[in-house]
A = this chain, B = another copy of it.
Amino acid sequence: MKKVKGGVTAPKGFQAAGIACGLKRSGKPDLSLIVSEVPAAAAGVFTTNQVKGNPVIVSQRHLKDGTARAIISNAGNANTWTGERGTRDAFEMAELTAKALGIMTQDVLVTSTGVIAKTLPMPKVRSGIKQIVKHLSSRGSAKAARAIMTTDLKPKEIAVKVGNITIGGIAKGSGMIEPNMCTMHAFITTDAKIDARTLRSILGNAVNKSFNLVSVDNCMSTSDCVLVLANGLSGQKVEPGKMHAFIKAFEFICEHLAREIARDGEGASKLMTVKVKQARSEADAKKVVKAIIGNFLLKAAVYGRDKNVGRILQAVGSTTARVNWEKFKFDWKIGNKEDIISVDLAAGKNSASGWGCDLTEGYVHINAKYRT
């Protein structure tokens, strides 16, 4: 496995674009499109929030047949809690994209992120979709990565090659980022030849080890999703002998994007990496990871560069995870860009890692000022 450039357009047969259609007051890019030359096996994981964005409903429906070709995504407006009008708007986004690309509506996935409970200004979206197809390019990943951003400071992009297969991804995160897959947008493309069922299973496992172990603020979003398209154009089938390497590469992509989302959390000055080992069960290990990455006091201590033992004890002790307190150990490495907190529960053989960020005045500023 080696890293390559090109993000979601690194795999064969993918094009992408990102433009501004006027949804962000700032005039920054806010509409992105990823397209596969041919129908692709497709899978998605979505928010578990009871309140779901309208685009989530559309994408879930269009994923039912396990095939898709395009992902149209807007930032600046989440098209959530916008009633029947919102559902129609989300479907119309898929329809217009399909028409502009000459493909089937059910092969278009839709995502939206931004403010909740405001109707999408459809005239802007309609003319945006007409425009964006003209900008599609096999080098368009960076622009797409930028157009899905909200309060993110940096675009998030990665690609790797494993044998003849390439896998690429882009993501956005920043606020409302929390375990439970309900947290961000991440779009992954690959030219591997793989069936939708296998892809779905690989995606589910990878998300549990990556995006679901990230927390910026414990807040579960209503709109977010991880989508993957596999178009097979490398000609390389993911056969049993190659499966392990493919899965590793796929997980690497997810973990990289998850870490970058945590690192770029709202107001964050530092990545907080948490490693839990010797847990009695994987569930216990994850519980402790989440208790630490989601802990207000520890997040503030990471910012303050204070290895506060009391806060570690408080966080671990507040869970129901089995701990052998006599042998309990922890280590806290303070770095300039990353703190690594390792916890040894001395209670078994399972481990887990997760990622968060520090809590700074910046987080408060952003979220006290962000207006609906």
Contact = CB atoms under 8 A, between A and B. Distances in A.
Contacts of A314: 49, 51, 116, 176, 219-222
Given A310-B117, A313-B80, A296 B217 contact: yes
Contacts of A115: 310
Interface string A39-61: 00000000001110000000000
A37 interface: no
Interface residues of A, number: 54
A345 to B, nearest CB: 11
Contact of A318 (B117, B219, B301, B317): B219
A63 interface: no
Interface in A79-121: 80-81, 115-117
Interface string A172-186: 000110000010000
A interface: dominant SS: loop
Given A50-B323, A300-B364, A367-B297, A313 B219 contact: no
A351 interface: no
Contacts of A313: 51, 80-81, 116-117, 222
A85 to B, nearest CB: 15
B372 A318 contact: no
Contacts of A307: 372
A308 interface: yes
A21 interface: no
- Output the residue of A50, A294, A306 with the most chain B CB within 10 A: A50
A189 to B, nearest CB: 29
Interface in A282-321: 294-297, 300-301, 303-304, 306-311, 313-319
A276 to B, nearest CB: 15
A120 B342 CA distance: 28
Contacts of A364: 300, 303, 359-361, 363-364
Nearest to A267: B364
Interface in A147-188: 175-176, 182
B117 A297 contact: no
A296 B218 contact: yes
Contact of A51 (B80, B218, B219, B325): B325
Contacts of A317: 49-51, 220, 222
A306 B368 contact: yes
A81 B306 CA distance: 18
A81 B182 CA distance: 37
A219 B372 contact: no
A266 B50 CA distance: 32
A339 to B, nearest CB: 13
Interface of A: 49-51, 78, 80-81, 115-117, 175-176, 182, 217-222, 294-297, 300-301, 303-304, 306-311, 313-319, 323, 325, 359-361, 363-372
Given A51-B317, A176-B297, 5 more contacts: A49-B318, A50-B318, A117-B309, A219-B295, A220-B314
19 contacts: A50-B318, A50-B325, A51-B316, A115-B310, A116-B311, A116-B313, A175-B297, A219-B311, A219-B314, A219-B315, A220-B317, A222-B313, A296-B296, A297-B367, A300-B366, A301-B368, A304-B367, A306-B369, A306-B371
